[in-house]
Amino acid sequence: MLVRAIAGNATYHFASEVRAGLTRSGQKELPSKYLYDDVGSALFDVISRLPEYGLTRADERLLRRYSADIVDCLATPVAVAELGSGSGKKTRWLLKALSRRQRTSYYPVEISPWALAMCERELSDIDSISIVGLEREYLAGLAEVAARRKSGQHIFVLFLGSTIGNFDRSAGVEFLAKIRRILQAGDSLLLGTDLDKPRAQLLAAYDDALGVTAAFNLNLLGRINRELEANFDLKQFSHVARINHRARRVEMHLRSNRLQQVRIQAAALEVEFLEGETIWTESSHKYSAKEIFQMALDAGFRCDAQWIDEEWSFAESLLMAK
């Protein structure tokens, strides 16, 4: 079952954010959430299978090995809300562990209807699980799940992968605090975080040899062309992955290969790009395992348990709402 977003002018909001990002003083920027249209979501699914990008496999290894332990830590009964479910493949292990204990309502929250359809297809065979896909922004979707809460029921939030890393550190803590304000004491959050690792490993993960990540990044300009009547020439932009050591993050940029003008009809905008100028499209912050405990406290949680994949250096941390 798919619950679509409340009717609104999505094109208007997209155009407004594109206009704001491309007219900023200094560094041009576009919100990373717009990378994930149907094409972008499909490309990211391919990225998750690349040998250079071990994050998704680390995420899945931890969930496969420790799903029973994670479920044993939860106060039941629970409803499960996953923020950014993707295809739902890695969530299977947790839902199967829960299905052995209770009937469970699972709410994948996604802005991509393609991802929600894939998720339902992937998980619909699990006994005792009902799936209600919410085509929403994260917090709006979680608020809807909270509004559907039954008496005595807890909410178990999944925020897997490394999505928290897309936020600046202070903004990440504030986002977790917003999640906490929707929850009640005794609710829980399973948080995935990518940990610090060597420079060469990071660069390979975000600039793979086959060029899939480049296609994923460039598709953002293609999406603007398709949905906002723009005339970006994708051949005149190049994908760039950079490491910002001071901020401990990988940045994805799109670099203009020449001086050029681009018209974005729906945003009533004509913007100039200098040769070598970039659009910053995504950040992926890296953490130490200990940092997560303090992040949890700062956001109104406590970290009750943590599982770490040593092969890729990735953590799943179980945060309990205080």
How confident is the model over 269-306, as pLDDT tens digits? 999 999 999 999 999 999 999 999 999 999 999 999 99
Q: What single letter denotes the amino acid at residue 42?
A: A
259 near 271, Cβ under 8 Å? no
**Domains (range + CATH), the chain:** 15-39+200-285 (no CATH), 55-197+288-321 (3.40.50.150)
State the CB neighbour count (10 A cutoff) for residue 259.
Answer: 12
Q: How far apart are CA 97 and CA 129, in angstroms?
A: 11
State the CB neighbour count (10 A cutoff) for residue 113.
Answer: 16
Give CA torsion, residues 90, 177, 17, 281, to 10 deg.
Answer: -50
Residue labelled with tokens 């998750």:
48
Residue 233 has pLDDT above 70, yes or no: yes
Q: How far apart are CA 120 and CA 249, in angstroms?
A: 33
Q: What digits encode the pLDDT tens for the residues 91-108?
A: 999 999 999 999 999 999
Q: What is the pLDDT of residue 3?
A: 59
DSSP codes, 212-258? HHHHHHHHHHHHHHHHH-B---GGGEEEEEEEETTTTEEEEEEEESS
Residue 7 has pLDDT above 50, yes or no: no
302 near 45, Cβ under 8 Å? no
Rg (CA), the chain: 20
DSSP codes, 127-163? TTEEE-EEES-HHHHHHHHHHTPPTT-EEEEEE-TTG
